[in-house]
Chain A
Amino acid sequence: MSLGKRLSMIFKAKASKALDRAEDPRETLDYSYQRQLEMLQKVRRGLADVATSRKRVELQGQQLTVASDKLQQQAAAALAAGREDLAREALTRRSAAQQQLADLGQQQASLQAEQDKLTAASQRLQAKVEAFRIRKETIKASYTAAEAETRVGEAVSGISEEMSDVGLAMQRAEDKTAQLQARAGAIDELLASGALEDATGSTKDDIQLELERMSSSSNVEAELAQLKRTLPAGTAAPAALAAGTTAPKEIRS
């Protein structure tokens, strides 16, 4: 059997389950309408979740961009200070950050697509629910058992198919959101661990600390040299100071 037919059978089976719920077809109408309203609520909540996740990804993207730029500056500073090893480390981290940024961009686009689809589906469902409500009242008003049975069946199976469809669209959007949240959590951890410095700049990562240590030791060097020049010649002190300055000098070279 064709795929389209098999899928139709699955949806019809779901619809007939909905129809079997009540003895009186009119109760079926009310029950179905209740379910439709619940479904609309769920879809709206689902849409809000997707939007929240997208916001979070956007924010992380901004943080990663800041972190990446900073790593670039650190690499330049390290290289200027003759520390190629440190520059290499900064650039390696920057490359990891760039990779994450590219992934985030893709996820954001796919989440946007889900959001658009879900928005369209929820608008369609809302229109159908309204059509159902009107149909329901008409059927109830002109109720004769034989006639109602077919008309209720038609209306309920139609709306039930719509709900199954929007339900699947929602599930898909939720799966995508869950995947994204897992990834967002991992990036938060990465930012927090200092491997990529937090964009707020409140914490100092190890590359920054090393650069600052280097710059402060070269300040010390300069001050020492200044002091040496002010010392009177022939005192015992210069020998000891000269010995002390050999180690920091290696860093400067």
Chain B
Amino acid sequence: MIVRIMGEGQFQLQDEHLVELNELDDALTDAVNAGDEPRFTQSLTDLLGRTRSLGTPVTDEYLGGSDLILPDAGSTLTEVRALLGEEGLIPG
């Protein structure tokens, strides 16, 4: 599976890592939905840290899309909302 961290590039991850990453991703989604900025920052930091440690950077020659795209490490909740809102994907 290929995961992109915005502003950092793509990482190759094994399928067995998916369960753990999904849990962290769920926590992040909850924080976004709840509008909880401190929890958002914490869960984003956790998810990005785990992605970096489990994954290996994809080579520059690889040309393909990602299965998962994660926000930039310095992102704020407002920025992520704006990104999602741009395409009308914000859940109610």
Contact = CB atoms under 8 A, between A and B. Distances in A.
B29 A2 contact: yes
B15 interface: no
Contact of B63 (A120, A121, A132): A132
Given A3-B32, A4-B25, A161 B62 contact: no
Interface stretch (A79-87, A123-131, A223-231): A123-131
B15 to A, nearest CB: 15
Contacts, number: 96
Contacts of B84: 3, 6-7, 10
A99 interface: no
Given A3-B28, A9-B89, A128-B60, A169 B72 contact: yes
A128 B65 CA distance: 12
A4 B89 contact: no
A64 to B, nearest CB: 27
A158 B64 contact: yes
A43 to B, nearest CB: 13
Given A7-B84, A165-B6, A165-B7, A12 B65 contact: yes
Nearest to A159: B63
A216 interface: no
Contacts of B61: 127, 131
A109 to B, nearest CB: 12
B65 A2 contact: no
B54 interface: no
Interface in A116-156: 117, 120-121, 124, 127-128, 130-132, 135, 154-155
Contacts of B55: none
A164 B80 CA distance: 14
Given A11-B65, A158-B65, A159-B63, 12 more contacts: A1-B29, A2-B29, A2-B68, A3-B71, A4-B25, A13-B87, A121-B7, A154-B64, A158-B62, A158-B64, A161-B4, A168-B72
The 3 closest A-B pairs by CB, nearest first: A127-B60, A4-B68, A158-B63
Interface of B: 3-4, 6-9, 22, 25-26, 28-29, 32, 60-72, 74, 80, 83-84, 86-87, 89
